[in-house]
Structure 1
Amino acid sequence: MSDSSEAPTREKRSFLMARDPSVDRRFRPRPNKKLRLFDDIHESAESTDPSDTESEYTSNGGDDATSVEDSSVAETGPQVFLRLRPVSAASKGYSLSDDGKVLITSAKSENSSNNVNRMEKHFGFTSIFDGTVGQQDIYDICVGPKILEEECVTIMTYGTSGSGKTYTLLGDDVRAGVIPRGLEHIFTVYLENMYHAPKLKLINGCIVFLQDDATLREMQISKKLLDLCPDIGANHERLRQVIKSDHTFETKAEPDVSVMIWVSFVEIYNELVYDLLSIPPRQENLGAAPRKPLKIACNKGQVFIKGLTTVFVKSSEEALRLLRLGQQRSTYASTSVNSNSSRSHCVFTVDVLKYNRSGMTTQCSYKFCDLAGSERVNNTGTIGLRLKEAKNINTSLMTLGRCLDAASTSRKKPSTDVIPFRDSKLTMLLQAALLGKERLAMIVTVTPLEKYYEENLNVLNFASIAKNIIFKEPMVKQHSTRYSSFLDNSKRNSQYEYIKEIEEDNIGLREEIDRLKFDHVLKMQLLEEKLRKELTDTFQEMMRVNKKQWEEQSEKQLLMAEREFEFKLGSQKRRYEEEIEDLKDEIEDLKSPSRDIDTDSMDEMDEDPKSPIEILDDE
């Protein structure tokens, strides 16, 4: 009874108060004396599975119930890769095992905060890449096979600030990263099946057929965003040549299949989700428009972001241009550790939608997640806004670690362990990968220097938790008719033949509809051109006729005006000539002497005319 009373009680889990160093995370007492337990069991260690360091370095006398699994149920876990950043003088506290899949750490100085960190520790990984490994090998091992499998996958980079996470994903102008190589790989695989218009779109986690007006609107959005993107034509061609020289991507032609590719880009900054590919609104005033945070929702198990802009792309160059545009809009700042440190978690998603002529649609999503660097506030010396950013980053990464820890233990205790997805926006967005519904691959980056020893231990502990997760693959339900089990073989065969005939008729009708639409559009275009030509000819003919009539009418009016003018001029001329003649006569009369004769005598003469001789006699 005394022994049972003195036994240590099980402590409650808490992430605010540290656990006693004498008890590990599974509440098993640690030995007080440091012993190298691995030297004595090398010969008995025959397991070649590098997924767990305990299975690799312990004897075969373990629990058979945990080592033997049912062969009918396939279980997989996330792949965790380690990449060591090349440094000029690497610390001797980091060494690799003989097989190259276990990292051995031991503190070489007294700078560690406690005795536990000074102990030698072993961390197992799927693969470990030292500083001599290039971007080509990283892609071929970590990402390339997952794209060929055509399954939804999340590629996550995790590590301390300045350890090379963003470089692994994006690379530089000469050495392409994982994302540019993945985009080139995806578009090369589906080169012959690419559809020219966005007829399918993933809306609220469901594939939706777009009408013609919606398709036109999506194409306009794509054009507007591409016009805002920087020009990377020469740079992309150089990267494309480098990628082609490093890899041999094959095109996979699938008959009766149309492929449409969409991309989206978001960042999680201070626990708020922002769209990095949104079209900026028109601002009358100067200054940048305030960003509007988005909301993460779930629809029938599908996680999506409300109001997120997804852009239809037709080439790897367009996708890379949108990626560069999102990079320009993301939040970066300078710290004492990294001069260009990302202050947010960025997720770049590539959705591949397939449409088969039989009517079946499939979806395959590739998420590339660039986590913000984990850092100690005391070492970085951040204050003010940088301090708030660091706290939110560390909180979200801690929640991610809690989710991974809960996922690794929920397989054994599903009733007691609850995965806290809703405690962080990052875990809410990545919960499908953390639950095993999507493939998960984590690339952990570490800077092997002595001053980052404790930060690297936190990163490696995080990676070891992820490495111990085992997901059971969800059972894929086959499509079947409701009453198929009650039908005999003949009826089933006839039913299948009937379904096949209907599918063929459906394909033929769709092709006929497409052909009729094309013919109708062509006829309408020809008719429009014909009508335009007829209208133009008719208008020109009317112009010629009206011009001729106007000229004739003008000539007639001019002739009539000339005749009227001549007539008026002649009448005026005659009238003035008569007046002139009258005036001349009056002048002559005035000049004549007979004007002195009395008018009375003239009257008499008129009454009694006399001869001139008589007149002289009277005088």
Structure 2
Amino acid sequence: MERIHVTVRSRPLSSEDAKTSPWRISANSIFIPNHSTKFEFDRIFGEDCKTGEVYEARTKEIVAAAVRGFNGTVFAYGQTNSGKTHTMRGSATEPGVIPRAVHDLFDIIQQDVDREFLLRMSYMEIYNEEINDLLAPEHRKLQIHESIERGIYVAGLREEIVASPQQVLDLMEFGESHRHIGETNMNLHSSRSHTIFRMIIESRDRTEDGGGDSVSSCDAVRVSVLNLVDLAGSERAAKTGAEGVRLKEGSHINKSLMTLGTVIKKLSEGAESQGGHVPYRDSKLTRILQPALGGNANTAIICNITLAQ
């Protein structure tokens, strides 16, 4: 697989936190002055950066590669209240990674006169290790299946054929309204589930008939999948004040994030290509994303952080 690209985005600090934070950013490193602790990444963006810069760092290339037939996955990762959902969804004045990717996807396709495309989208959440369809809220506790024809798939998950960026974003907005959120000490609107926003891209070569009109050829259809994943925030119960239902949610969130970390570590060490075991089946998240993590897939992680103490 391609090397996983890791981008870090630092959330703006309050004036009070800015006075007490020990962390500093220099180029693509985060460190504490006069201390041996230092972390280096592919790109680091400070608090003044725009989402467009984060998107251009790697996600834009992954979107273009998906049109060419390569599976791709982009994760937004970070603790509760670090700005993940803002990075992925954005706002009316500053579009996030998902709307930028959707617009780019349609722009690239419209410029390709040699191929005919069909786009489908799905939107699901994983809540307490249960899969819910955000486009069909009545479809809950869906199951993962695998077949020779379809590979790994979620049975009963609605896939909508889409023809414009606005249609996609309207469907996403509908799905978002059914996502599980809850209040913790760290965030009044904390996402309590992982969400996978997925675009399925099918294409085949065009040919021309005798009259010069384009018709579809009988050549093989090329299919690729683009996953844009908003991970629920990693958290510590002592900080969030979680108890009861919130504590159970946090436990499932942290377990699946740990599995994702293990899978990515194994892949980066070459376990899959060397015939070693990669624990995709240890969580619903990694099992669903298995085809878009291994093999020839492109993967990027956007780590949203706060430098507050």
Say yes or no: TM over 0.5. yes
What's the counterpart of residue 10 of structure 2? 84
| Gap runs ≥5 in structure 1 | 1-74, 109-118, 192-251, 281-290, 451-619
Mapped partners of 1:412, 1:275: distance in 2: 30
Q: Offset of 1:140 from its aligned partner?
A: 1.7
Check if 1:311 corresponds to 2:165: no
Query: In the alignment, which of 232, 235, 250 is matched to residue 372 of structure 1?
Result: 232
Mapped partners of 2:105, 2:227: distance in 1: 13
Q: Offset of 1:178 from its aligned partner?
A: 0.8
Residues 188, 413 of structure 1: CA spacing in aligned structure 2 closer, same or farther, 3 A cutoff? closer
What's the counterpart of residue 399 of structure 1? 259
Deviations along 1:379-416, whole A, 9 cap, x unmatched?
A: 1111111111011101111111222233333449946x
Instruction: Calculate percent identity across the aligned residue pairs.
Output: 32
Q: Is the 8 A contact 2:29 2:40 kept in 1?
A: yes
SS in 1 for 2:106: helix
Mapped partners of 1:329, 1:76: distance in 2: 34
Query: In the alignment, which of 68, 87, 94 is matched to residue 175 of structure 1?
Result: 94
| Gap runs ≥5 in structure 2 | 206-215
Mapped partners of 2:118, 2:83: distance in 1: 32
What's the counterpart of residue 85 of structure 2? 166
Amino acid at match of 2:285: L
Residues 263, 143 of structure 1: CA spacing in aligned structure 2 closer, same or farther, 3 A cutoff? same
What's the counterpart of residue 76 of structure 2? 157
Residues 363, 412 of structure 1: CA spacing in aligned structure 2 closer, same or farther, 3 A cutoff? closer
SS in 2 for 1:373: coil
Amino acid at match of 1:296: I
- Tell me which of the two structures has the higher relative contact order, counting C-alpha pairs closer than 8 angstroms and 6 or more residues apart: 2
Residues 405, 141 of structure 1: CA spacing in aligned structure 2 closer, same or farther, 3 A cutoff? closer
Q: TM-score of the superposition, structure 1-length normalised? A: 0.45
Deviations along 1:291-341, whole A, 9 cap, x unmatched?
A: 531111223483211111000111111100100011001100011001100
Residues 353, 94 of structure 1: CA spacing in aligned structure 2 closer, same or farther, 3 A cutoff? same
Check if 1:331 corresponds to 2:187: no
Amino acid at match of 1:261: L
Q: Offset of 1:136 from its aligned partner?
A: 1.6
SS in 1 for 2:269: helix
Q: Is the 8 A contact 1:81 1:125 kept in 2?
A: yes
Amino acid at match of 2:75: M
Q: Is the 8 A contact 2:73 2:293 kept in 1?
A: no
Mapped partners of 1:76, 1:154: distance in 2: 12
Residues 320, 378 of structure 1: CA spacing in aligned structure 2 closer, same or farther, 3 A cutoff? same
Amino acid at match of 2:89: L
What's the counterpart of residue 37 of structure 2? 121
SS in 2 for 1:143: helix
Amino acid at match of 1:77: R
If you compute each CA radius of gyration, which structure gives the higher value, 1 or 2? 1
SS in 2 for 1:329: coil
| CA RMSD of superposed structures (Å) | 2.1
Mapped partners of 1:307, 1:412: distance in 2: 29
What's the counterpart of residue 59 of structure 2? 143
SS in 2 for 1:442: strand
Mapped partners of 1:159, 1:322: distance in 2: 25
Greater strand proportion: 2
Q: Offset of 1:133 from its aligned partner?
A: 0.8
Deviating beyond 4 angstroms after TM superposition, the runs of 4 or more aligned structure 1 residues are 410-415
Mapped partners of 1:409, 1:186: distance in 2: 31
What's the counterpart of residue 349 of structure 1? 198
What's the counterpart of residue 295 of structure 1? 143
